[in-house]
Structure 1
Amino acid sequence: MILAGIVPSSLIDYPEKVSAVIFTKGCNFRCPYCHNPELVVGKETSHISEIDFFDLLKKRTGLLDGVVISGGEPTLHSDLLHFVEKIKGMGFLIKIDTNGSKPEIIQTLLEKELVDYIAMDVKASPDQYVSTAGYNGSIEPIFQTIKLLEKSSVFHEFRTTVVPGFTDEEEIEKIGKMIEGSKKYFIQNFRPSNTLLNELSKQRGFSIAELEHFKEIALKYVLNVEIRN
């Protein structure tokens, strides 16, 4: 695993749990609003060795409930399964943050019971993945991962970062239909800083009223919709 960053303790990344957060290097998407561009492109970042990471976990045994593996895109790493198995063997819960482009990896994690929570970013409606996520591949893997999670008993959430100029009422409507019947959906407001596309660093986020309007639309399709601002 190429580990590019770590948060030793977080109260917000794993719902209702205290977790360490590890960030993997590399992503197959190019979301212009990404606030971790150093994990996607650009200058080489310093790496954290797996030895140092596992030493930290040993020291924090009893203080942490789990580990969040984020990115970048964790499912791109061929040694992810071994990495997760080792963490699980230490008694920690595992949460994976993913863009959903590798359903075969998600399926294996689920089948082997190696993951306790999955957060999937639904970047856009099918027609807008190219512009919103910089993704030119087939959209079918995205739908496959959505279906896998919806059928799974593992805790999961879908989430969308809403960005002025990229997200509107019609987009939320279409995304809602993609995940219709799901139990939990988070609408995340765009943060205008340190973005992959520099021009967006000056863009405003949505107002609370605008976010609440998006929430009303999404509630037609999803049982529980919350705003992360």
Structure 2
Amino acid sequence: MTENVTPSVIQHSEVVGGHSPHYFQDKIKIKGFLKTSFIDWDGYITAVVFLPMCNLRCPMCHNHEIVLTPEKYPDIPLEEIEKYLVENRDFIDGVVITGGEPTLHKGLPDFCRWLKNIGMMVKLDTNGTYPERLQHLIDDKLVDFIAMDIKAPLNDEAYRAVSGTSVDVENIRRSISIIMKSGLNYEFRTTVIPTFHTAEDMVEIAKSIEGTKLFVLQQFNPDNTLDPKLGKVEPYSREELEEIAKECKPFVSKVKVRA
């Protein structure tokens, strides 16, 4: 199990008045549902839901089809997800909400609350561009773990290159601060791409999250990227990433390579 997690889960028997999703399902659309994952939340068995839309255009994105052409994918009924989760509560620990960018969806708070009402813990994947929305989710105890992508060193030029669009890096800084002060378990992670990131860049990112619980260096996968030119880029090897991780270690509590 992940260390020091105290999940805020409402037991199913405590829910008053049922848990029908009908009241918010017009505010959130689910385009993908992975019933079982052993890798998306360390120490837990989860289901994963994929939400469409994103405000970034990261060239390395693998989920670009639900971002750019979500209409090609049918909506997955919440009733179908509910049925599976309720029937498998003894097996499934929680639900990972990913995208796309989940915080774009007005129905996200209600969706998280609904998941908790059927006994699920909630992990949120986010790009950190909407700090106030993260703060509300944390204040209302609607998430148990946050995984935030940090695309590049926190300057406008570097972030624009890796995000494919202009980003207010002050919002990124605010999200980092909110998450680190939240009392939740969390991770910050960077997909390390040779054409965008040097070892010095990664150390700069580590310094910007100094004292953080966990910094994850993710190995780049060149398959099916939004920018097809990245398909020709040779990823850093695990050994190279481990060496970069050693350079980052003085600034964070724990650094991990995910390959």
Give me the TM-score of the superposition, normalised by structure 2. 0.86
Instruction: Describe the shift of the 1:43–1:51 C-alpha distance in structure 2 as closer, same or farther (beyond 3 A).
Output: closer
- Asked whether the 8 Å contact 2:56–2:165 carries over to 1, the reply is yes
Q: Describe how 1:28-107 pairs up with structure 2 within 5 A.
A: 28-42=55-69, 44-46=71-73, 47-107=75-135
Give me the TM-score of the superposition, normalised by structure 1. 0.96
Q: What residue number does 1:225 align with?
A: 255
Structure 2, unaligned stretches of length 5 or more?
Answer: 1-27
* 3-state SS, counterpart of residue 165 of structure 1: coil
**Identity of matched residues, %:** 40
Alpha-carbon deviation of 1:135?
3.1
Greater Cα radius of gyration, structure 1 or 2? 2
Residue identity opposite 1:44 in structure 2: E
Correspondence 1:14 to 2:44: no
- Asked whether the 8 Å contact 1:194–1:201 carries over to 2, the reply is yes
Alpha-carbon deviation of 1:165?
0.6
Greater than 6 Å deviation, 4+ residue runs: none
How far apart are the structure 2 equivalents of 1:43 and 1:121?
22
- Asked whether the 8 Å contact 1:193–1:202 carries over to 2, the reply is no
User: 188-197 or 210-219: which moved more?
Assistant: 210-219
Alpha-carbon deviation of 1:194?
0.6
Correspondence 1:4 to 2:4: no
- Asked whether the 8 Å contact 1:118–1:155 carries over to 2, the reply is yes
Count of aligned pairs between the two proteins: 229
Correspondence 1:146 to 2:173: no
Alpha-carbon deviation of 1:43?
6.2
- Asked whether the 8 Å contact 1:19–1:65 carries over to 2, the reply is yes
Structure 1, unaligned stretches of length 5 or more?
Answer: none
- Give the number of the structure whose residues are more often strand, by fraction: 1
How far apart are the structure 2 equivalents of 1:113 and 1:170?
37
Q: What residue number does 1:23 align with?
A: 50
How far apart are the structure 1 equivalents of 2:235 and 2:72?
28
Deviations 1:33-65 (A, max 9, x none): 111111221463312122222222122221100
Alpha-carbon deviation of 1:118?
0.5
* 3-state SS, counterpart of residue 40 of structure 1: helix
